[in-house]
Amino acid sequence: MQERMAGLFARLKQRKIVQWSVAYAAAAFALLQGVDIVAQRFAWPESITRALIIASFVGFFVTLLLAWYHGERGEQKISSAELLLLSLLLAIGGGFMWKFAPGAGAGNAETASAPGLAAVPALSGPNTQSGKAVAVLPFENRSAGGEDAAFLADGIQEDLINTLSRVPGLTVIARTAVLPFRDSKLDLAQVAKRLSATHLVEAGVQRAGDRVRINVQLVRASDGQTEWSERYDRTLSATNIFDVQEEITEAVANTLKLQLDRTAGGGRLAGTTENLAAYELFLKGRKQWTDGSAKESVRLFKEALKLDPNYALAHGALAEAYIYLAMGGIAPPAEAFPLAEASARRAIELDDQVVQAYTALGEVAFHFAWDWPEAEKSMLRAIAIDPNYAIAYSRHAGHLAGWGRFDEAMAFEQRANDLSATRADAVGTVYLLGQGRYQEVLDLTAAIPPSKLGDQLAGRAVALIRTGRPDEALRLLDRLSGERRTDNLGRQAFLGWAYAQAGRPAKAREILQELQQEATRHYVSPQLIAEVVLGLGDRDLAFAKLQEAYDLRDPQMPFLGQSVVYESVRQDPRYRELLRKMKLDVFYPASADRG
């Protein structure tokens, strides 16, 4: 036995098996390390890394085989046994590659049915790998002037969120999630728990004449310990403010042992200005946006651009504001969407890292141009630039739902909710309704009190109607009716349709009259009126309104295929023709069964 083992080791040494193996292992390890670094910096899909790992693993055995047959002599003819073994190894490797590398097995059937749309990136990308999540709490305004001076503290906080969002490996909680904790009486551990954050950033901003002081600290949520703190005293200028934001971002990244990507602009805000007055107008415009005054924010962004026409971030913000005006019915779509597109393209021309410009282009492509591939391309580009931008995930989820890709939509909406620290229980109710999965809607929302359901309340009511429980549905609809606001016309229309479906047409007509009255004062989507009319059973008037919406390129039309409202007319030739003209029929073929 010992002689046989000794003979085997001698043959291994003679054929240089060990040398070939060690050399291959070292080269493969170096390659994979390099690919890992590049993949994080360029947000490559995880499937590429998996494919290379599998290829490296198979390559190791191929190397052993080649060494066995060729290690003893420099050249040797390939024998039939060697060829058979090589073929077997490659077949096994191909099988593993098919099974594990793409990440989706045989691919997504829904995506395959829509040629030209981009592949969906993995949502467990570089910004979810480290397990580190930071919430930048509202900055304390310590300047004289009270609320009139608060825009500076609020603006620096939001800018810091945007710069931290581009640190690879770091999850940054959205600003909308942290705003409710301004002046909160909760201790930091409770705030962190509610926000699902491992660390909190606290700061105070004090402006005095031409000087500004920023005190900032990074707190570990688990025990409330300060891991890093600093005080910055600077002459007040736009450049100095951006420099401080960059220094804070770098300090936070270093403290959390994360690497900034300088090649992609990590650590510094994109599209900035050197004009302090323009920057202050921009911050005031953004505060007006937060406070709900989109028209005033448009005015202030335009004022900022008068002072600095090359202020890319202001162009991007203006584009987003125009989108809001169009989607909210504040301005006609044919007027607002082209303005949004022009502002977004100017922002990208000045700085191609302005994420708001890409989300605006995605919205224009989806809601106005009805260019589905361009809409997806723009949204995925926004997410690649800023993997923590919750708005991009949420909007893209809406687009995916419009194309009938409901499972993907729910995944993107879940990611948006994670970043916004909102409840995940009722994520995707509207998407489930679109597929006729009513019992799942009821299961998802069963444990949530009506007071916490929010926009999911109407969805639960519809599911109750469809499962034969109209009395329970009416109680929910009455609650929603008492809370309805005139600035949410989409909810009003859906409520009117649901009342009609639940057997209370008088209430539906009351809501229809309110929408018609609103339409005398400003733009109201004809499609919203069509929804209520359809619920009341007047198909001819409903399709007349839908044709009007089509002619106006109404921004609600891309949801024509998705919405549960059109369940009763899905086989109507007029409905099928509208889907065909909008190129939505590929997502919703006439033979499709949606429950």
**Residue 409, in any domain of the structure:** no
**Residue 360, in any domain of the structure:** no
**Looking at 17-31, 43-57, 384-398, 454-468, which range is the least confident one?**
43-57
224: left (phi over 0), alpha (psi -120 to 50) or beta: left
Q: Are residues 134 and 74 part of one domain?
A: no
Q: Are residues 491 and 582 part of one domain?
A: yes
Q: Which residues span the domain enclosing 509?
A: 484-595
Q: Of 443, 458, 482, which marks where a domain is finished? A: 482
Q: What's the CATH code of the domain at 173?
A: 3.40.50.10610
Tell me, what DSSP letter sits at residue 369? I
For residue 134, the model assigns a pLDDT of 94
Assign 76 a pLDDT band (cuts: 50, 70, 90): low
Query: Residue 391: which residues within 8 A CB-CB, separation 6 or more?
Result: 174, 359, 416
- The 3 state secondary structure assigned to 241-287 is HHHHHHHHHHHHHHHCCCCCCHHHCCCCCCCCCCCHHHHHHHHHHHH
pLDDT at residue 246 is higher than 50? yes
297 versus 449: which is more confidently predicted? Answer: 297
**Residue 503, in any domain of the structure:** yes
Cα(66)–Cα(559) distance, integer angstroms? 58
pLDDT at residue 148 is higher than 50? yes
Query: Residue 257: which residues within 8 A CB-CB, separation 6 or more?
Result: none
**Residue 412, in any domain of the structure:** no
State mean pLDDT over 49-58: 68
pLDDT at residue 121 is higher than 50? no
> Are 560 and 566 spatial neighbours (Cβ–Cβ below 8 Å)?
yes
For residue 151, the model assigns a pLDDT of 87
> Percent of the chain having pLDDT more than 70?
73
> Are 314 and 282 spatial neighbours (Cβ–Cβ below 8 Å)?
yes
**Residue 110, in any domain of the structure:** no
- Read off the tokens for 12: 């291994």
For residue 40, the model assigns a pLDDT of 45
For residue 116, the model assigns a pLDDT of 44
pLDDT at residue 126 is higher than 50? no
Query: Residue 258: which residues within 8 A CB-CB, separation 6 or more?
Result: 130, 132, 167, 168, 169, 170
How high is the mean pLDDT of the chain? 82
> Are 136 and 160 spatial neighbours (Cβ–Cβ below 8 Å)?
yes
Q: Are residues 254 and 218 part of one domain?
A: yes
Q: Are residues 492 and 590 part of one domain?
A: yes
Cα(69)–Cα(46) distance, integer angstroms? 35
Q: Are residues 49 and 161 part of one domain?
A: no
Q: Of 442, 458, 482, which marks where a domain is finished? A: 482
pLDDT tens per residue across span 481-539: 776 555 678 888 988 999 999 999 999 999 999 999 999 988 899 999 999 999 999 99
Sign of CA dihedral 487, 493, 498, 499: positive
**Residue 260, in any domain of the structure:** yes
Tell me which amino acid residue 146 is.
G
| Phi then psi dihedrals of residue 235, to 5 deg | -70, 135
**Looking at 78-87, 226-235, 295-304, 340-349, which range is the least confident one?**
78-87
If DSSP codes are grouped into helix, strand and coil, which group holds residue 487?
A: coil
Q: Are residues 500 and 478 part of one domain?
A: no
pLDDT tens per residue across span 345-387: 999 999 999 999 999 999 999 999 999 999 999 999 999 999 9
> With 0-12 CB in 10 A as exposed, 13-18 as middle and 19+ as buried, what is 285?
buried
Q: Are residues 130 and 258 part of one domain?
A: yes
- Read off the tokens for 265: 């602009």
For residue 326, the model assigns a pLDDT of 92
Q: Are residues 181 and 80 part of one domain?
A: no
Q: Are residues 142 and 243 part of one domain?
A: yes
Cα(484)–Cα(490) distance, integer angstroms? 10
pLDDT at residue 24 is higher than 50? yes
Q: Are residues 494 and 476 part of one domain?
A: no
Q: Are residues 526 and 470 part of one domain?
A: no
- Read off the tokens for 527: 């499609």
For residue 511, the model assigns a pLDDT of 94
Q: Of 57, 83, 100, which marks where a domain is finished? A: 100
Residue with the two structure tokens 């919430």? 135
pTM of the shown model: 0.75
**Residue 376, in any domain of the structure:** no
For residue 119, the model assigns a pLDDT of 46
Q: Are residues 172 and 91 part of one domain?
A: no
Half-sphere exposure (Cβ direction) of 565: Cα atoms closer than 13 Å: 32
pLDDT at residue 74 is higher than 60? no
Of 235, 264, 259, 230, the C-alpha closest to 247 is: 230
Domains in the chain, number: 4
- The 3 state secondary structure assigned to 427-483 is CCHHHHHHCCCHHHHHHHHCCCCHHHHCCHHHHHHHHHHHCCCHHHHHHHHHHHHHH
Cα(339)–Cα(319) distance, integer angstroms? 7
pLDDT at residue 105 is higher than 50? no
**Residue 58, in any domain of the structure:** yes
